[in-house]
């Protein structure tokens, strides 16, 4: 539209656009309002994106003091399937230099908004001392961004190498701890300290994270049900000695790096030294078979209900045990007097020699340093009698697992290990028990689970041919024995071709009047624990564990 004014100047009106005419170049630039607004928002978005990228990177800050030292690097630790159990990574520690603080009060207020749970009276004292100190180690990405946005020059970020344990508590006793200088102080971190610091490739273990989780889950559950002081479990390949799972409860979070001083956190699987009771009867019978002094059908007639030795009475745990028993029946019914008679046939030298060669009598050589040493004792006629049925002799659950592995695997010596080795390392086998004995013992162990006279019926899980032996022992105290117990069950499966030994130990369990036992044979459920024995506690736990881990073991086909 054209308009004429008084001075005869022509004005042109355009809707939503304007024209600018440059005299020299005649360049026309036209802007659409919508395009202009879009351009402004685009510029703002780019600015914010750059800022977010800047904050999202922990390494772009020019004032980060980079201090990672290659000497502090530790190789990763992985399980048999490649899952990380320990890993070295970079982290940021936040320090504060009080000399550069401009406004102490303002700094404390800002820090408290980001980290509300710290002791700011103590931090205020440190600021007054005018000495550099670390405010937060291994800071999270979120809090790092917040604290750097404060823009305070006194805040000093430092990049360091740190050790991360993705599984937290799951392998605490196996992996162990390191100190602030990245030196191993327990577990594999200590025993393989030089290897982990010198080599880049991961240290591969024999353990399986999935199975470890399932076993620990059941131990935690039944530790609460039976109100135990603690518990332990070991799952080991009887042919190779590879430890697939080793749990000791209670455990601790390795990521917290807290000093563990409570003795209840001891590694019960390897460090705990216990009298384990009737599980030793299997060793006594195996020794008698190995020396050709007995066979499984050898009869012992007119066995008394009790005998006396040095003024002490040795009796049966049950009045229902018959006076006439075969060797097989002595083990199935867990007879004390029958076991004593077999021990007396062996005499001290033969029984002692057998216990030494299967590795239960002396300190074991193992991949971690936290191993217990069986308590030494003086042999005599009475000690021979008590040792024959597992009284007055100690060992560790780890050594118990080794002993049962040798007895069930055909009589071949094995070395328990947490470190995965080449298959060729296991080719050379040394037989230390005569051929044919394992088959006889395994048959009896199976009957302990399947026969009504046996003590381990609750572990009879369909499809796994579980066999085993129970052990209920009173804990020693000053001058005698207390009412506190250690309940143990050693299971072997499958007994027709043994591959695994599973030890389950409950330390000071109690009965539970509310717990319901569901029987696999369809028998009516029972409410309440009738007796505080391994048959009603450790055996029940073992059955629940095998139900859960059995399918995984079958699927993964873990090699011998």
Question: Mean pLDDT over all residues of the chain?
Answer: 88
Answer positive or negative: Cα dihedral of 345, 348, 350, 352.
positive
From 36, 56, 76, give the residue that closes a domain: 56
Contacts of 559 (CB under 8 A, 6+ apart): 240, 423
Cis omega (within 30 of 0) for bond into 250: yes
Predicted local confidence at residue 46, as pLDDT: 64
| CATH number, position 544 | 3.40.710.10
Predicted local confidence at residue 91, as pLDDT: 84
Contacts of 481 (CB under 8 A, 6+ apart): 474, 475
Q: For the ranges 30-34, 106-110, 120-124, 455-459, which has the lowest average pLDDT? A: 30-34
Q: Rounded CA gap, 441 and 433, in Å?
A: 12
- Give me the phi and psi of 85, to 5 degrees please: -110, -30
Asked if residue 65 is part of any domain, the answer here is: no
Asked if residue 187 is part of any domain, the answer here is: no
Predicted local confidence at residue 426, as pLDDT: 54
Would you place residue 269 in the very low, low, confident or very high pLDDT band (cuts 50, 70, 90)?
Answer: very high
Instruction: Count Cβ neighbours within 10 Å for each residue of 168-197 and write b for 16 or more, e otherwise.
Output: ebbbbbbbbbbeeebebebbbbbbbbeebb
Q: Mean pLDDT throughout 237-247?
A: 97
Predicted local confidence at residue 196, as pLDDT: 95
Does the pLDDT value for residue 54 go beyond 60? Answer: no
Asked if residue 100 is part of any domain, the answer here is: no
Asked if 143 contacts 155 with a C-beta cutoff of 8 angstroms, the reply is no
Would you place residue 44 in the very low, low, confident or very high pLDDT band (cuts 50, 70, 90)?
Answer: low
Q: Hey, how many other C-beta atoms are within 10 angstroms of the C-beta on 336?
A: 28
Q: For the ranges 72-76, 83-87, 350-354, 437-441, which has the lowest average pLDDT? A: 72-76
For 440, counting Cβ atoms within 10 Å of its Cβ (0-12 exposed, 13-18 middle, 19+ buried), the class is middle
Q: For the ranges 130-134, 250-254, 477-481, 504-508, which has the lowest average pLDDT? A: 477-481
Does the pLDDT value for residue 48 go beyond 90? Answer: no
Q: Rounded CA gap, 340 and 445, in Å?
A: 19
Predicted local confidence at residue 27, as pLDDT: 41
- The three-class DSSP label of residue 368 is coil
DSSP structure string for 227-272: T-SEEEEEEEETTT-BEEEEEEES---GGG------GGGS-TTTT-
Name the residue range of residue 30's domain.
Answer: 2-56
From 56, 82, 102, give the residue that closes a domain: 56
- Interval 290-322: pLDDT, tens: 999 999 999 999 999 999 988 889 999 888 899
- Give me the phi and psi of 505, to 5 degrees please: -120, 130
Q: Rounded CA gap, 343 and 389, in Å?
A: 8
From residue 117, give the alpha-carbon distance in Å to each of 11, 136, 433, 441: 71, 12, 62, 60
Which has more confidence, 39 or 106? 106
The structural domain count of the chain equals 2
Nearest to 282 by CA among 323, 237, 339: 339
Q: Percentage of residues in the chain with pLDDT exceeding 70?
A: 86
Q: Rounded CA gap, 247 and 541, in Å?
A: 14
Instruction: Count Cβ neighbours within 10 Å for each residue of 499-518 and write b for 16 or more, e otherwise.
Output: bbbbbbbbbbbeebeebebe
- Give me the phi and psi of 129, to 5 degrees please: -80, -10
Q: Where are the beta strands (DSSP E) in 49-106?
A: 65-66, 77-78, 84-96
From 38, 56, 74, give the residue that closes a domain: 56
Predicted local confidence at residue 56, as pLDDT: 47
Asked if residue 170 is part of any domain, the answer here is: no
- Give me the phi and psi of 394, to 5 degrees please: -120, 160
Instruction: Write out the two tokens for 466.
Output: 């579980």
Kindly give the interhelix angle for 281-290 and 437-450, rounded to the nearest 10 degrees: 150
Q: For the ranges 25-34, 395-404, 544-553, which has the lowest average pLDDT? A: 25-34
Q: Mean pLDDT throughout 223-248?
A: 97
Asked if residue 453 is part of any domain, the answer here is: yes
Q: Mean pLDDT throughout 339-365?
A: 97
Q: Mean pLDDT throughout 213-227?
A: 98
Does the pLDDT value for residue 2 go beyond 80? Answer: no
Asked if residue 78 is part of any domain, the answer here is: no
- Give me the phi and psi of 519, to 5 degrees please: -90, 140
- Interval 114-142: pLDDT, tens: 999 999 999 999 999 999 999 998 888 89
Does the pLDDT value for residue 31 go beyond 70? Answer: no
Predicted local confidence at residue 60, as pLDDT: 37
Q: Mean pLDDT throughout 435-458?
A: 97
For 529, counting Cβ atoms within 10 Å of its Cβ (0-12 exposed, 13-18 middle, 19+ buried), the class is buried
- Interval 364-383: pLDDT, tens: 999 999 999 999 999 999 99
Does the pLDDT value for residue 279 go beyond 70? Answer: yes
Predicted local confidence at residue 19, as pLDDT: 44
Asked if residue 177 is part of any domain, the answer here is: no
Would you place residue 7 in the very low, low, confident or very high pLDDT band (cuts 50, 70, 90)?
Answer: very low
Q: Percentage of residues in the chain with pLDDT exceeding 90?
A: 75
For 395, counting Cβ atoms within 10 Å of its Cβ (0-12 exposed, 13-18 middle, 19+ buried), the class is buried
Predicted local confidence at residue 57, as pLDDT: 46
Predicted local confidence at residue 180, as pLDDT: 80
Does the pLDDT value for residue 52 go beyond 60? Answer: no
Does the pLDDT value for residue 41 go beyond 90? Answer: no
CA R_g for the chain: 35
Q: Mean pLDDT throughout 270-281?
A: 97
Predicted local confidence at residue 43, as pLDDT: 59
Asked if residue 153 is part of any domain, the answer here is: no
Predicted structure pTM score: 0.82
Would you place residue 71 in the very low, low, confident or very high pLDDT band (cuts 50, 70, 90)?
Answer: low
Q: Rounded CA gap, 466 and 445, in Å?
A: 8
Nearest 5°: the CA angle 66, 67, 73 is: 125
Instruction: Write out the two tokens for 313.
Output: 């009475």
Q: Mean pLDDT throughout 148-154?
A: 92
Q: Hey, how many other C-beta atoms are within 10 angstroms of the C-beta on 64?
A: 16
Q: Mean pLDDT throughout 76-97?
A: 93
Which has more confidence, 547 or 31? 547
Q: Mean pLDDT throughout 524-551?
A: 97
Instruction: Write out the two tokens for 108.
Output: 């404390």
Would you place residue 199 in the very low, low, confident or very high pLDDT band (cuts 50, 70, 90)?
Answer: confident
Predicted local confidence at residue 138, as pLDDT: 84
Distance of CA 315 to the CA centre of its chain: 39
């Amino acid at each position: 539209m054209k308009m004429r004014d008084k001075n005869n100047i022509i004005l042109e009106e355009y809707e939503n656009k304007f024209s600018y005419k440059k005299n020299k170049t005649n360049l026309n630039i036209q802007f659409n309002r919508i395009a202009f607004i879009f351009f402004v928002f685009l510029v703002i978005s780019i600015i914010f994106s750059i800022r977010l990228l800047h904050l999202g990177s922990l390494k772009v800050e020019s004032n980060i003091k980079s201090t990672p030292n290659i000497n502090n690097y530790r190789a990763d630790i992985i399980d048999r399937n490649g899952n990380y159990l320990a890993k070295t990574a970079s982290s940021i520690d936040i320090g504060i230099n009080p000399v550069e603080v401009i406004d102490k009060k303002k700094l404390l207020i800002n820090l408290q908004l980001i980290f509300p749970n710290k002791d700011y009276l103590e931090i205020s004292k440190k600021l007054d001392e005018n000495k550099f100190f670390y405010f937060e180690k291994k800071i999270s990405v979120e809090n790092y961004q917040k604290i750097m946005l404060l823009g305070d020059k006194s805040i000093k970020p430092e990049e360091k190498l740190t050790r991360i344990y993705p599984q937290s508590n799951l392998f605490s006793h196996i992996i162990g701890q390191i100190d602030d200088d990245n030196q191993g102080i327990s577990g594999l971190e200590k025993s393989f300290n030089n290897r982990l610091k010198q080599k880049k490739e991961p240290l591969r273990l024999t353990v399986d994270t999935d199975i470890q989780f399932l076993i620990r889950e059941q131990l935690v559950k039944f530790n609460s049900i039976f109100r135990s002081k603690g518990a332990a479990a070991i799952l080991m390949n009887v042919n190779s000695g590879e430890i697939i799972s080793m749990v000791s409860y209670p455990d601790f979070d390795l990521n917290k790096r807290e000093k563990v001083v409570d003795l209840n956190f001891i590694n019960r699987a390897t460090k705990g030294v216990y009298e384990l009771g009737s599980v030793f009867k299997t060793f006594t019978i195996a020794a008698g078979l190995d020396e050709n002094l007995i066979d499984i059908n050898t009869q012992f007639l007119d066995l008394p209900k009790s005998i006396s030795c040095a003024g002490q009475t040795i009796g049966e745990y049950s009045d229902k045990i018959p006076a006439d028993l075969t060797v097989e029946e002595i083990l199935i019914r867990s007879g004390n007097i029958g076991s004593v008679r077999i021990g007396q046939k062996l005499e001290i030298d033969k029984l002692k020699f057998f216990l030494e060669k299967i590795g239960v009598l002396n300190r074991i050589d193992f991949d971690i340093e936290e191993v217990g040493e069986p308590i030494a004792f003086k042999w005599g006629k009475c000690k021979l009698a008590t040792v024959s049925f597992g009284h007055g002799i100690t060992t560790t659950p780890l050594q118990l697992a080794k002993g049962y592995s040798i007895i069930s695997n055909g009589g071949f010596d094995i070395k328990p290990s947490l470190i995965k080795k080449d298959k060729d390392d296991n080719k050379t086998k040394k037989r230390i028990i005569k051929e044919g004995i394992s088959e006889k013992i395994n048959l009896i162990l199976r009957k302990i689970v399947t026969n009504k006279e046996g003590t381990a019926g609750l572990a009879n899980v369909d499809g796994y041919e579980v066999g085993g032996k129970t052990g209920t022992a009173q804990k020693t105290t000053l001058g005698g024995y207390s009412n506190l117990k250690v309940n143990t069950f050693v299971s072997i499966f499958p007994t027709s071709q043994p591959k695994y030994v599973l030890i389950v130990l409950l330390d000071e369990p109690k009965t539970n009047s509310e717990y319901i036992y569901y029987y696999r044979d369809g028998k009516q459920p029972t409410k309440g624990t009738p007796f505080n024995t391994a048959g009603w506690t450790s055996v029940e736990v073992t059955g629940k564990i095998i139900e859960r881990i059995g399918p995984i073991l079958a699927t993964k086909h873990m090699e011998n």
